[in-house]
Structures are given as structure tokens and as C-alpha cells.
Amino acid sequence: MSDSSDEEYLGTDWLPYSERSEWADVKPLPQDDGPNPVVAIAYSPKFREVFDYFRAIIASREKTWRALELTTDALRLNPANYTVWQYRRDILRELDANLKNELDYLTEVIGQNAKNYQVWHHRRVIVEMLNDASQELELTQNALDIDAKNYHAWQHRQWAIRTFNLYDDELPFVDRLICEDQRNNSAWNQRFFVLKHLGFTPEVIQRELVYTMNRIRIIKGNESAWNYLVGVLRQSEDGLLSSYPEVLEFSEELYNAGNRSPYLLAFLIDVYQEQALQDGANEQLARKVYTLCDDMATKHDVIRRKYWQYVAANLKSQLSSKSAK
């Protein structure tokens, strides 16, 4: 929740609507907040006036160029007002306005309000109306250059890619972002999104596993990379973590070299557990899990100690119910 006001943005040479001759024919309509309003906002005179005029044009169903400009002012004062955005779209349709201009306007607004739901939604609708998404990759790239984890920008980018089939150049873009910041979880997610579309064939899986293991070699305690590794393994035909033995080898190597990243240990726990359950109560593998869980709980991941105790207990009960059968 942030307090943002674009009061200043409207400039010092602001002329009130009541003093504009071209608006002399409009009678402003005040808001009816009821007799004893709560959470009443002490609107600035400017805010109050702009919305009084906005209500007036809605009430007279006016859809003109000056009405469009009025919505621009209203949205600068409150870009979260979804009704103003909706009315703006109704005006644009009525005027059969050049929507390219609207895209330019939105590029500017998004530059200032990159985390506003309504702005991004408006952008989506206009792009749909134009049936032209040629600017969307650049637009979202600019937003991601400022904040590489901006959820709105990623959502819009995915939508554009999915709707207009823009997958072709996405992998290099994602790769660049992962190189810049290997901990960028949004970029890893986008990588999964692209490859899922292209198809997780055995070759793709193999390549992605190598790619990810190389990343993990650089930063071993990176949860994003480990999650991606597991996610890709589960795309294999049998969905097992042990289906590509080189990953287990790689992990055991890291472990034997002394690495104790909780994500590495969690992965080993998962693989051994999976194998223990498959192998029909393999005691040796189960003991490995218990030892690792105990190490996590007491040394490497103490904040999750109750969880690791739970994981061990869970396996124990699963195995005993198995052997009971």
C-alpha cells in the first residue's frame, strides 16, 4: 500500500475546469458519500473538481475528445480507478480513435506506474483491439530492466507471447536475465514456460539439466535453480528424480566435496526417499534420509527443524505401512 499522488504532475499552470471556457456548458456533479461517511478522503480541490466533471460527462454520456482528455487528468490523479479506464475505452471506441496513440500514452503511464493492475489491463485490451503485439516485448523488457521481478510485466509478457505466438526469441532473453542474476526466480519460471511450450523432449531435458547444473556449480545455494532442476526432472517420462542418474551423481559429488546447502540436502532427501519407497522398504536408503533430515534439523536448516523431523517421521510411517502389507 503506497500513497502516491500525481498532484504535482499536473503542473503549476493548472487551470481549474470551472475557469475553462470550453467546459462552461458542463455542470459538475459532486459525489454522494452518504450522510455519515467513514474512511472519507480529504480530496484536494483539484481531485474533487476533476472527478466532479468526470461524473458529469458520464451522466450526460458524453464521449468526445475533451472527455478523453478529462479521463487522462482523472487517471493521473487516480490510476487505480477502473471505471475511468473503462469509460476511456468506451470513448476510444465511440471516437474510433487511433489506438497507436493510446499505446504511446500507455507506454508513458506504465513507465510511471509499472505496478498498477488497471494500467496493464488497459494495455492488454488495447493490444487486443489493435491485434498488434509488436511493442509488447520491448515494453515489458523496459519494465524488467528497472525491476527484473516485476510480476505485472512478466504476466503481460507471458500473455503477449502466448496469445501472439512470440516464443521465438524468448530463450535468449531469459538466458541473459539469468546470467545477470542467477537468483532471479521470475526468469527461471519464464524459462520453464518457454520450454514447456516447445516441449520437454528427452534432448531438451538433458540440455536443461546440464544448463542448470552448470548454474548450480557457480551458486550452490540458489533455490531457484534447484527448484527448476527438480521441475525439469519431473517432466521426464516416468517423472522420477532418479531418471537421469547424472543429476544424482552431480549432487553426491557436491555433497562429498563438503557442500551442505539446504537445497542440495533437500534434493538428496527427496531422491533417496523416492528410491526407498520404490525399492519396497529399502532400509539403507531410508537410513540415509533419516540421517540427512537429522543433519538438516540440527545443523544446516535449523529454522525448519520441525519440518525435517516431520519428513523423517512421514517416511517411517509410509515404510511401515508398506511392510505391513
Give yes or no for residue 186 binding other proteins (CB under 8 A): yes
CA within 13 Å, CB half, 57: 25
Q: Smallest gap, in angstroms, from Cβ of residue 249 to other proteins?
A: 22
Closest CA relative to residue 44, chosen from 2, 10, 19: 10
The question of whether 322 is a catalytic residue gets the answer no
Distance separating alpha carbons of residues 255 and 273, to the nearest angstrom? 17
Query: Catalytic: which of 27, 46, 63, 115?
Result: 115
Grid look-up 532471479 returns 184
Figure out which of the listed residues 72, 112, 314, 321 binds other proteins, where binding follows CB under 8 A. Answer: 314
Interacting positions 35-54 with other proteins (CB under 8 A): 35-44, 47, 51
Residue 151 makes contact with other proteins by CB under 8 A: yes
- 299 binds other proteins per the rule CB under 8 A: no
Task: Output 288 or 301, the one with its CB closest to other proteins.
Answer: 301
CA nearest to 233, candidates 260, 266, 259, 267: 267
Interface with other proteins, residue 310, by CB under 8 A:
yes
* C-beta of 132 vs 223, nearer to other proteins: 223
Contact 252, 267 (CB under 8 A): no
3 contributes a contact to other proteins by CB under 8 A: yes
Residue 202 engages other proteins in binding (rule: CB under 8 A): no
2 backbone φψ class: left, alpha, beta (φ>0; ψ -120 to 50)? beta
For 121, other C-beta atoms within 10 Å of its C-beta total 15
Question: Would you count residue 16 as binding other proteins (CB under 8 A)?
Answer: no
In angstroms, give the least distance from the CB of 166 to other proteins. Answer: 14
